[in-house]
Amino acid sequence: MSTILAIVTGAPAWVWAVLALIIYLGMRALKPRSGTPARLSVVPGIFLASALGTLLLSSRLSDILLVWLASCLLGIGIGASWTMLLRIDIDRTRGIIWMPGTAFWLVTGLTMFGMRYAIEVYIAFNRNLAQEALWFALPYAVMGLGTGMSAGWWAALMTRYLRAAEA
């Protein structure tokens, strides 16, 4: 029990702020909502900027870039495919997109957070693993997958919006 407490209390405060944000955004996504294309671009834009900033600050960018890009491309495919299946309504005259409520982002966000947290804790307990390329790159692969899913969702949503505006 003391080990679990040490793990939880040893995490920086920003980790719990990120978890709170994931839960907040996931809970919001459970309800049907509407927004303009610009408003619906904010969260994916923040996630992308955060991921790119994290990548660029890495001391071993050459070790992680290909892993991040590959997982990001996989995520784009997942996010775009899922978005194309959503039943959305588009009001071209008002520039509004109506989206159904879904648990997808809550479940996905918590899963990604849990995977990344578990990997980081495992590496913290096994510091020698941090020197191995696979273990060093693994958290970035999870980040790339989540970033790609968000970017794929946004790209597919904007594609649907622009196509509807042309019709």
Instruction: Going from the first residue of the chain to its last (167 residues), give the mean pLDDT of each consecutive group of 10, the final group possibly shorter.
Output: 80 92 95 94 92 90 92 97 94 92 94 94 90 90 96 96 78
Supply the range of the domain harboring residue 73: 2-166
pLDDT at 141: 96
pLDDT at 1: 67
* Domains: count for the chain: 1
* Two structure tokens written together for 24: 């907040």
How does strand 96-99 pair with strand 33-35?
Answer: antiparallel
Q: Amino acid letter at 117? A: Y
pLDDT at 20: 96
* Cβ-based neighbours of 119, under 8 Å, separated by 6 or more: 135, 138, 139, 142
pLDDT at 165: 63
Say how far residue 95 (Cα) sits from the centre of its chain. Answer: 25
